Structure 1
Amino acid sequence: MRIRAAVTLAALTALLTPAAHAAPDEDIHLPVRDALAALTVADESRDGYERDKFRHWIDADRDGCSTRNEVLLEEAVTDPARSGRCTLTGGQWYSPYDDRYVDGPRALDIDHLVPLAESWDSGASAWTAAEREAYANDLGDRRALIAVTAASNRSKADQDPSTWLPTAAGYRCQYATDWVAVKTRWGLAVDPAEAAALTRTLGECPNVPVEVELAR
């Protein structure tokens, strides 16, 4: 059973206080290069960043499964067994960063495609705690969170595409496209080096349309 589809954007929006956030009501439909061009280009600052400012792996729909396990259940190639509140065993996953299949959930990380630190640098430092929590647990867009090998995730760390791209070259176009989509969804900026790297990468990729439902 696919779980993440049941955790809708409405559940994500419910994380936000009414005073801080209005319900998303706008979709973006653009070729990816146009979507990139529409992003604000600005210098970034890491000042004040702490990972704890992004509360993550919550159980938004109170079904016993944390955000991490919701992603694992959704992305499994072979479904794991689920016991207790949400203990997962067995199953198989595909890690697109390094083109590997992984048996069992222990060797997997759930990556924020646009890392938490990168989001802070490019706009999230001005958000409320509720908005940062919603970002860190974004199940409303399948591109935001992805199950990958722990090794590939730790190689990436908090880098943007100017210094890190997946080792699986065949996935790089998708990665750059999804990066632009997530930044668009959350109204995040790109710095000049990041914008240049994305322009180079996407210049070698099909100019596919992206559809994004704005989160804020």
Structure 2
Amino acid sequence: MRARVDVVAVMAAVLVLAGCGAPGSFVDVWAAGPGSATGDTEIVESGFTPGEGPGVGEPADPAAGNAVAVLGTLEVKGRAPKTGYARTEFGRRWADIDRDGCDQRNQVLARDMEREVFKAGTHDCVVLTGTLRDAYTGRTISFTRGQGTSERVQIDHVVALSDAWQKGAQQLDATTREQIGNDPLNLIAVDGPTNSRKGDGDAATWLPPDTGYRCAYVARQVAVKAKYDLWVTAAERDAIARVLGSCPDRSVPTDDDALLPAISLR
């Protein structure tokens, strides 16, 4: 049986990182680009308020889906080598894993956008135009399918596939890896340039520029890693814990939640 991080220890780490009630600090590493709010490194304060949230002696029940508690069940290990990683290790790009006749990219576009117009004859599958309220930046983006315009809205793997590969996915079978690559729980339609800046970063190196979405973002990462038995590094665990310190009652999203627009779960 693999060693697990004690929930109480994780909660204690959160409190220590938060200064035992005094505001802590977290350096958010992300590269600013056109339209970004700032080009400087951002300092974000977070932490438990004394008397609020689950106490150290009373950890939340992972069965209830509390994100802090579920985080405490994830194995903590170093990052494995990237050797052997390729996008094809996660199956065909945008496969129709639910076999409803519509690929996952178009399904996520339709889920996360508003006022969609679909290509005729595709049974409301192929999205031609729409409007995205971007969860990562808070901006509203107009989407038009086509060369030179489609990339304005990209589909992000919340847990990047390269990150998943280095934290347990290489040990999984091909079918399960294809599920990770196409699972709606792990997919969000977002601003293209912002997604490119994220790359394959985990929570220790990248968080959404819109601070109001960070709790939802890391809770979704925890949900995906728990679902597929992927591990976290110590730095990643601590970064997620710091974010969840400001929202200790946050639940991890479920597969049913993954059917809802990502922005609605902020």
TM-score norm. by structure 2 comes to: 0.64
- Alpha-carbon deviation of 1:212? 4.3
- What residue is the counterpart of 1:121 in the other structure? 166
Partners of 2:117 and 2:105 in 1: CA distance = 14
Match 1:178 to one of 195, 220, 243: 220
Q: 1:74 aligns with which of 111, 124, 129?
A: 111
Q: Which has the larger radius of gyration?
A: 2
TM-score (norm 1): 0.78
What is aligned with 1:95? 134
2:74 is matched with 39
Percent identity between matched residues is 37
Please give the alpha-carbon distance, in whole angstroms, between the structure 2 residues aligned to 1:212 and 1:62.
20
CA deviations on 1:118-173 (whole Å, 9 max, x unpaired) are 1111110001111111111113x3xx110001111101110001010000111111
State how far apart, in whole Å, the 1-side matches of 2:86 and 2:252 are.
31
Paired with 2:137 and 2:130, the residues of 1 have a C-alpha distance of: 19
Is the CA contact 2:68–2:248 (under 8 Å) kept in the aligned structure 1? no
Matched residue type, 2:95: I
Runs (5+) with no aligned partner, structure 2: 1-61, 145-149, 256-266
Out of 82-91 and 96-105, give the one that drifted further: 82-91
What SS does the aligned partner of 1:79 have? Answer: strand
Deviates more, 1:57-66 or 1:45-54: 57-66
Hey, what does 1:30 align to over in structure 2?
65
TM-fit CA distance, 1:92: 0.9
Q: Which ranges in structure 1 are unaligned for 5 or more consecutive residues?
A: 1-26
In 2: Cα distance, 1:166 partner to 1:128 partner: 31
Please tell me whether the aligned partners of residues 116 and 128 of structure 2 are also in contact (alpha carbons under 8 angstroms): no
Give the secondary structure class of the aligned counterpart of 2:248. coil
1:1-216 to 2 correspondence within 5 Å? 28-45=63-80, 46-55=82-91, 56-85=93-122, 86-105=125-144, 106=150, 107-139=152-184, 141=185, 144-210=186-252, 212=254
Against the structure 1 CA distance between its residues 173 and 78, is the aligned structure 2 distance closer, same or farther, given a 3 Å change threshold?
same
Q: Is the 8 A contact 1:181 1:212 kept in 2?
A: yes
What is the alpha-carbon distance in structure 1 between the residues aligned to residue 120 and residue 107 of structure 2?
Answer: 14
Q: With CA pairs under 8 Å and 6+ residues apart, which has the higher RCO, 1 or 2?
A: 1
C-alpha root-mean-square deviation of aligned residues, in Å?
1.9
The C-alpha deviation readout for 1:69-98, integer Å capped at 9, x for no partner, is 011111122222332434322211111111
- Most deviating of 174-183 and 151-160: 174-183
Asked if the contact 1:116/1:136 (under 8 Å) is kept, the reply is yes
